[in-house]
């Protein structure tokens, strides 16, 4: 069975590579056409996609799906479409004085066929944006959507196969065994979004074929409330970003760090804001469910483990909820750092609250885990903000905000260390899926003969002059 899957996938990849070989440098018009078709398809299928996502989750807030999976994706497509002509042009670079009159430039060139492995938590946003940027760079695409969102994958497959020719994009559906075969293919580039543990396996499979890979992973993203923070503002953004999609976001704040003397103020404000945003969470149309029973069990074990370790657990109550996969917005006060809650990425609606007395103590807590995908800083002090930007290591930083760096298309999005490597979005995505070819052009009249042997006194003297010029 596995052999037949591998053979089938290799045949699909071979057909895309043949199409690329026949047209290795698609025109700007061709790229823009693909992007326009992609946007039109997304708009035409919006309602079906939103419904399918909700079905896969047992309930997904429609506003979340429309705002992020649809609107956020359309914004990225349009940004690439607006700039692809400029990004595709040769980029002149300076030539050193001793090499003149030669000139040099960088020519962006499509890599070929890009493999995209997308996750379940934002199944459209995290599959269509890489496709759009790969198209913008002139590539063909093979997509492997998550098997945990089968209804969404079914609708997305129909959307893409009806919109594009089979020599432009192919979609591969299947379970983990299909995914393993997929990431073992000899792509020209592979992008994977998901967990760090699976990311390691993807990197190993890609390395066997020397396939360049972009890994967008996760980790424990801290939200730090500084000594000079506006608490009201910090709490509003904290609650919004922590419980959006029921916490199932790789860049959600995984825990909050607050000055010890402000802990009670923070907890009280968070509880009030949860009530304001979600009320009876189980019936609230703005509050989403967990993707499946397995993840429900995992999240409940994290909560129980913290409770068993002596942490205080605060949960909302529901009067009439019937969806068993909606988990209460949860606050856990001072969980020990050696609990699973503080060692694993939570990916659920649990907010651990930790306290600190000094910046150095906060730094030690953050350093307890690998470098995160995002760090959030709340402070009205430019000195305090600058300190944390300079003295922290993370894929990205937001100051007095959360999440929204991910939809700022002028910023590269990516991790560092265990939270991933490589980056995309906007120009960074175009470059990630392009080979930036170095081109050195030498005119007929030049001084390169001065480097030819034999090397007598005159050429040694010229060499000393060159040394002063380099």
Judge whether 403 lies within some domain: yes
User: In this predicted structure, what is the pLDDT of residue 155?
Assistant: 98
Residues 249 and 154 in one domain: no
Residues designated catalytic: 216, 250
Contacts of 76 (CB under 8 A, 6+ apart): 128, 129, 132, 133, 407, 409, 425, 426
Judge whether 246 lies within some domain: yes
Residues 126 and 157 in one domain: yes
User: In this predicted structure, what is the pLDDT of residue 3?
Assistant: 63
Residues 257 and 184 in one domain: no
Q: Which parts of 340-412 are beta strand (E)? A: 350-356, 374-378, 396-399
Residues 70 and 198 in one domain: yes
User: In this predicted structure, what is the pLDDT of residue 455?
Assistant: 86
CA distance linking residue 189 with residue 55, whole number of Å: 32
CA distance linking residue 355 with residue 118, whole number of Å: 36
Judge whether 445 lies within some domain: no
Tell me 327's DSSP state: P
Judge whether 470 lies within some domain: no
Q: Is the peptide bond before 125 cis (omega within 30 degrees of 0)?
A: no
Residues 303 and 342 in one domain: yes
CA distance linking residue 432 with residue 167, whole number of Å: 22
**Burial of residue 139, with CB atoms counted within 10 A of its CB: 0-12 exposed, 13-18 middle, 19 or more buried:** buried
Residues 314 and 210 in one domain: no
Residues 135 and 236 in one domain: no
CATH code assigned at 233: 3.40.309.10
**Total structural domains in the chain?**
2
User: In this predicted structure, what is the pLDDT of residue 80?
Assistant: 98
Judge whether 459 lies within some domain: no
pLDDT tens per residue across all 470 residues of the chain: 456 899 999 999 999 999 999 999 999 999 999 999 999 999 999 999 999 999 999 999 999 999 999 999 999 999 999 999 999 999 999 998 888 899 999 999 999 999 999 999 999 999 999 999 999 999 999 999 999 999 999 999 999 999 999 999 999 999 999 999 999 999 999 999 999 999 999 999 999 999 999 999 999 999 999 999 999 999 999 999 999 999 999 999 999 999 999 999 999 999 999 999 999 999 999 999 999 999 999 999 999 999 999 999 999 887 777 788 999 999 999 999 999 999 999 999 999 999 999 999 999 999 999 999 999 999 999 999 999 999 999 999 999 999 999 999 999 999 999 999 999 999 999 999 999 999 999 998 888 887 889 888 888 888 888 788 77
User: In this predicted structure, what is the pLDDT of residue 2?
Assistant: 52
Judge whether 350 lies within some domain: yes
User: In this predicted structure, what is the pLDDT of residue 359?
Assistant: 96
Residues 196 and 162 in one domain: yes
Q: Which parts of 312-359 are beta strand (E)? A: 312-315, 330-333, 350-356
Residues 254 and 358 in one domain: yes
Judge whether 446 lies within some domain: no
Domain span at 21: 2-217+421-436
Residues 211 and 226 in one domain: no
CA distance linking residue 419 with residue 199, whole number of Å: 9
Residues 298 and 407 in one domain: yes
User: In this predicted structure, what is the pLDDT of residue 260?
Assistant: 97
CATH code assigned at 126: 3.40.605.10
CA distance linking residue 403 with residue 415, whole number of Å: 14
Residues 345 and 299 in one domain: yes
Judge whether 15 lies within some domain: yes
């Amino acid at each position: 069975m596995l052999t037949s899957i591998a053979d089938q996938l290799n045949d699909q990849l071979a057909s895309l590579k043949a199409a690329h070989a026949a047209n290795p440098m698609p025109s700007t018009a061709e790229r823009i056409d693909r992007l326009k078709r992609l946007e039109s398809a997304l708009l035409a299928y919006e309602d079906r996609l939103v419904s399918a996502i909700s079905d896969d989750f047992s309930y997904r807030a429609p506003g979340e799906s429309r705002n992020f999976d649809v609107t956020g994706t359309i914004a990225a497509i349009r940004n690439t479409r607006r700039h692809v002509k400029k990004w595709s042009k040769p980029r002149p670079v300076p030539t050193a004085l001793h090499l003149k009159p030669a000139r040099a430039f960088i020519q962006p060139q499509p890599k070929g066929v890009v493999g995209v492995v997308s996750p379940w938590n934002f199944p459209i946003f995290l599959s269509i944006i890489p496709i759009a940027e790969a198209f913008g760079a002139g590539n063909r695409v093979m997509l492997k959507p998550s098997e945990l969102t089968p209804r969404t994958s079914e609708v997305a497959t129909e959307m893409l196969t009806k919109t594009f020719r089979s020599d432009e994009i192919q979609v591969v559906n299947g379970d983990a065994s299909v995914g393993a075969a997929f990431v073992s293919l000899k792509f020209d580039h592979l992008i994977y979004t998901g967990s760090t543990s699976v990311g390691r396996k993807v990197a190993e499979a890609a390395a066997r074929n020397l396939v360049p890979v972009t890994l967008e992973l996760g980790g424990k993203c801290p939200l730090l409330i500084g000594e000079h923070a506006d608490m009201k503002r910090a709490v509003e953004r904290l609650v919004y970003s922590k419980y959006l999609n029921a916490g199932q976001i790789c860049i959600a704040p995984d825990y909050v760090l607050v000055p010890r003397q402000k802990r009670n103020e923070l907890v009280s404000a968070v509880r009030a804001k949860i009530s304001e945003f979600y009320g009876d969470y189980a019936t609230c149309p703005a509050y989403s469910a967990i993707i499946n029973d397995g993840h429900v069990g995992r999240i409940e074990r994290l909560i129980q483990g913290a409770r068993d370790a002596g942490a205080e657990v605060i949960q909302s109550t529901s009067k009439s909820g019937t969806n068993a996969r909606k988990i209460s917005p949860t606050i856990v006060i001072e969980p020990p750092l050696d609990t699973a809650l503080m060692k694993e990425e939570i990916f659920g609606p649990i907010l651990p609250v930790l306290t600190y007395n000094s910046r150095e103590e906060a730094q030690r807590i953050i350093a307890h885990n690998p470098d995160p995908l995002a760090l959030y800083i709340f402070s009205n002090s430019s000195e305090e903000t600058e300190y944390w930007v300079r003295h922290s290591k993370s894929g990205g930083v937001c100051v007095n905000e959360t999440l929204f760096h991910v939809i700022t298309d002028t910023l590269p999005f990516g991790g560092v260390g265990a939270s991933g490597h490589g980056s995309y979005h906007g120009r960074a995505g175009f470059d990630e899926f392009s080979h930036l070819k170095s081109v050195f052009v030498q005119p007929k009249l030049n001084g390169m003969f001065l480097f030819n042997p034999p090397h007598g006194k005159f050429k040694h003297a010229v060499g000393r002059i060159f040394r002063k010029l380099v």
